[in-house]
A and B are shown apart, each in its own frame.
Chain A
């Protein structure tokens, strides 16, 4: 009964389906963020997957160097964010808790 689960045909379909939805974005430099994906036209995103996110919460992993390297997590919230595409590693719909 589930016709559409059969096919994400091309990578951008996933992105397209996630428009106006909350997505999880992993970035270079051990940074991660969740936010609501905006911009419907993907045309200019082809080369780089630039994103515009709103209501963003960013998570930054900071490795404290020393004898025993510890990892601390910093979080910050932003209303609106433009994410340059060359730093994006993955974009995914977040796991739903409903």
Chain B
């Protein structure tokens, strides 16, 4: 370890040496106990010949006194001494001994005469008059002292400035010399160079323009700047210190003025002592202060002399100081900025354009992959969705393809911003250039017929820069064709494929049961040779669903594939593609296990699949690819097993996928489905659930639409008769439960009896689907059914109207909701809430 550049070892050595020297020295211990008595051995005699030896010359003449002999020299040396003396008074050690502070001067008046070599100050006149106050004396002495110090300072500054200037001059000269030398050397070298190589390479720059030389230059500039900055900083610090000291002084003085001292003499003494100390403390600072303090001192002096109002002076001074400080700060800032810029531009032009291109090439080459679309799957799909949402052409993929060799995925389009697209375009061009270059090189290689030798020495990993982390898990990627566009491990999962085969066999069995299912759904099926199964386990569900996802992604990929970019409709596909598509859809169909007999298990396998969240999510994606007949079957199964469904996500995902079928279905289908709902299932429970109610409402409205005749296929009279039967049955089943369909009524049963009108926030919006359903029911009901409806719902209706009209509501919104709900139902009956009077 070394401090301040000194090597410690050297110090150590030095110390050791000194110790050794100490031991070499003779040690005299006279007067101590261990004194060896050498002193006693001295011979004290034989002194009588000393005069003869050293001479006794009598009077010594004055012929060596040149000064007195040559009086012309005298004045010069005298003034010189005087100058030295003055300087010494201010700062030398002597001045400490020779105490001329106001305090000591006052105490021993002898000092005064020597202190005032420059005669007449106004104070002196007054002194002669003999009557003076303590304050006068004090101020007088201060003024004198200040004056003297000021003069000394000015002189000192002048000297210092001169010195600095010379120093700078010298430095500058030195720099110039250095630079010239360097230039000369460079020229010599260049000449030498030119001599050696008649044709220098085009990229060879003269050294003076090379980046490294620039760097050197800049570093020197930087160094200079730093020095200047340091000086600046030092100056600032001194200034601040000075300010602080003066502030202290001023406080003392004002204290002195404002307070009437109990003992004026003592107070004054103390004050002077303090000031004296302050002066001494500030002295070394003032010495190092080149610019401002003398001005400040002058200002203070002037103020004392002229007796200007203190506040004005103060304001002026503060203002001036502030300005100075501000200027300093600005300068500092500018310097720092310049230094920073210089620092940053150190490495400018270190890289040539071709260097940069090289780096870009490395970076871009990492983006090239064999299957750009799959690698960028999510961004691509997202981009497609965004584009289709914006109404742009959805077919253009953001992938750069280079024949069969792969491509670069460009990701999703960036939103807005002008920079990114530009960068994208540039990158695109870059990549194209790189690829074409690579191809050209390949062709050249082909020309040189190096192909035969290629790989003869083993394969080198040309992409060593691709610093991929070592794979910790080695997953066997077999040679099997990749089943999934998104999964890199191409091996289709063995266990899944095993389950495939099983389920395939099941679907075979299912095919044989297909006819029976139809019969069963109509309610007259027999359960002969039914293959009963345990419900699907969680793992089976997950495995099947994963398989489904693979299939769905394949199908979607097939639809998106540029090879079939002629359109999204299957009609335009070529035979092979169509076959592939059909095969995949068939697989999906069998995986859904829709064709398994109803009684296979409880819950039905298909319903089990829907129990998982991702099962519900995938349903709309799957059903998109199914034809009408398959969808009808699926819907039938769904309705038949409706009570087995967990109703949580039904509305959001499942209903969405079956809605289009119901909307398009004919009366016979609707009839059959409603029949299915009532057959063997608790229709009341279904009607009390939200999705069930939604489903029933959907059926009723569909029938109403058909009744209005707004459909392509007008139902026959027979169908209507069938429906009427179905409807009556439904109405009959639900009649005792009408009030209980409302969530509010069911909740009210749990509320305390004495508060029947307690408000549950949002309860009216929960009731709304029920009112809708009842309205749909009322539209198709006969007049007797109307009466049943009114009588069973009378209380509920009145309750709502009453609370709306009597103002038992939280806000206006709730009131309107209540009335709108009731009116929804009453309008269907041909009534209105305004007709009800209380």
Binding site for B on A (CB under 8 A): 1-13, 16-21, 36, 40-43, 46-48, 93, 96
Annotate B485-496 by CB proximity to A: 1 below 8 A, 0 otherwise: 011110101111
Q: Assuming A47-B468, A47-B470, is B542 touching A21 (CB within 8 A)?
A: yes
| B489 and A4 form a contact (CB under 8 A) | no
In the docked arrangement, what's the CA distance between A42 and B472, Å? Answer: 14
Q: With a CB–CB cut-off of 8 A, which chain B residues contact A5?
A: 537, 539
Q: Assuming A20-B617, A42-B488, A47-B469, is B475 touching A4 (CB within 8 A)?
A: no
Q: Assuming A10-B476, A17-B546, A21-B612, is B487 touching A43 (CB within 8 A)?
A: yes
| B495 and A13 form a contact (CB under 8 A) | yes
Question: Which of B493, B533, B538 is the one whose CB lies under 8 Å from A96?
Answer: B538
Q: Assuming A4-B496, A17-B543, A20-B617, is B502 touching A10 (CB within 8 A)?
A: no
Q: How many B residues touch the partner, as a band? A: 35 or more
In the docked arrangement, what's the CA distance between A21 and B496, Å? Answer: 18
Annotate B471-490 by CB proximity to A: 1 below 8 A, 0 otherwise: 11101100000000011110
Q: How far is the CB of A6 from chain B (nearest CB, A)?
A: 7
| B499 and A12 form a contact (CB under 8 A) | no
In the docked arrangement, what's the CA distance between A2 and B489, Å? Answer: 25
How many contacting A-B pairs (Cβ < 8 A)?
A: 84
Asked if B65 is at the interface (CB within 8 A of a chain A CB), the reply is no
Question: Which of A6, A12, A16, A47 is the one whose CB lies under 8 Å from B498?
Answer: A6
| A16 and B488 form a contact (CB under 8 A) | no
| A12 and B542 form a contact (CB under 8 A) | no
Q: Assuming A2-B540, A46-B471, A48-B469, is B614 touching A19 (CB within 8 A)?
A: yes
Residue of A6, A12, A18, A41 with highest tally of chain B CB at under 10 A: A41
Can you list 25 residue pairs at the A/B interface with Cβ under 8 Å? A2-B540, A4-B498, A4-B540, A5-B539, A6-B495, A7-B494, A8-B495, A10-B476, A11-B473, A13-B493, A17-B539, A17-B543, A18-B542, A19-B614, A41-B378, A41-B486, A41-B487, A42-B489, A43-B486, A43-B488, A46-B488, A47-B468, A48-B469, A48-B472, A93-B538
Q: With a CB–CB cut-off of 8 A, which chain A residues contact B546?
A: 16-17, 19
Can you name 13 extra interface pairs (CB under 8 A) apart from A11-B473, A20-B612, A42-B489? A3-B498, A3-B502, A6-B498, A9-B493, A10-B489, A13-B495, A13-B496, A17-B546, A20-B614, A36-B613, A41-B487, A42-B488, A47-B472
CB nearest neighbor in A for B542: A17
Q: How far is the CB of B503 from chain A (nearest CB, A)?
A: 9
Q: With a CB–CB cut-off of 8 A, which chain A residues contact B617?
A: 20
| A2 and B495 form a contact (CB under 8 A) | no
Q: How far is the CB of B278 from chain A (nearest CB, A)?
A: 56
- Give 4 nearest A-B pairs by CB, closest first: A7-B495, A20-B614, A43-B488, A17-B542
Question: Which of B487, B537, B543 is the one whose CB lies under 8 Å from A42?
Answer: B487
Asked if B534 is at the interface (CB within 8 A of a chain A CB), the reply is yes
Asked if B626 is at the interface (CB within 8 A of a chain A CB), the reply is no
Asked if B549 is at the interface (CB within 8 A of a chain A CB), the reply is yes
Q: With a CB–CB cut-off of 8 A, which chain B residues contact A7?
A: 494-495, 498
Q: With a CB–CB cut-off of 8 A, which chain A residues contact B498?
A: 3-4, 6-7
Asked if B650 is at the interface (CB within 8 A of a chain A CB), the reply is no
Question: Which of A12, A17, A20, A96 is the one whose CB lies under 8 Å from B475?
Answer: A12
| B537 and A10 form a contact (CB under 8 A) | no
Q: How far is the CB of A14 from chain B (nearest CB, A)?
A: 10
Q: With a CB–CB cut-off of 8 A, which chain B residues contact A12?
A: 473, 475, 489
CB nearest neighbor in B for A8: B495
